[in-house]
Amino acid sequence: MLDKSHETPKYSAVTFLVNVGIQTLIDDQHPIDHNKVIVIDSATIITGSFNFTKAAEKKNAENLLVIKDTPELVKAYEANVQAHAAHAHLYARRSSAASSAAPMAQASGDVHGNRHGKVYRVPGCKSYAGMRPASVVSFATETEAQQTGYRKAKDCP
């Protein structure tokens, strides 16, 4: 299970998981899912600070703990995972015109967020037309942008 920051128009590790048939859930109820937990066959727990990235493996100071033969602890970890899974949804790669280098379409109703500043603009906002395509994340509605952690830009009516 991953947090909502992984649901982007870019091809990512999550896309690889889905493409090989591994069901991946997005927990969008929390800004950051900082858990690093794997429960294997209801018998083994793997946890720690390790992020399962090349940087974690090669550069960072990380820890990884493998816990076996603790059925009560396994049940507790499984219950926690299930609690988050209950309010999560299946990963869906976001489509976005902003993922290409081509100029953005100025379609009425498009909500464009700046992926770096976490602000969004709608047609009629002062800087809407001047947003850099490489920085834009498109949303269908303002509500969708807000649910993803974006706020409306101050230069918008």
Residues 27, 28, 33, 41: which is the catalytic one?
41
Contacts of 55 (CB under 8 A, 6+ apart): none
Does 69 participate in catalysis according to the annotation?
Answer: no
Does 152 participate in catalysis according to the annotation?
Answer: no
Cα gap 40→82, rounded to integer Å: 14
Residues 33, 36, 110, 116: which is the catalytic one?
36
**What is the token pair recorded at 65?**
């703990």
Cα gap 117→96, rounded to integer Å: 18
Distances in whole angstroms, Cα of residue 49 to Cα of each of 13, 92, 134? 18, 26, 31
Cα gap 23→26, rounded to integer Å: 10
Residues 10, 27, 28, 34: which is the catalytic one?
34
Does 41 participate in catalysis according to the annotation?
Answer: yes
Give catalytic residues, as residue numbers: 34, 36, 41
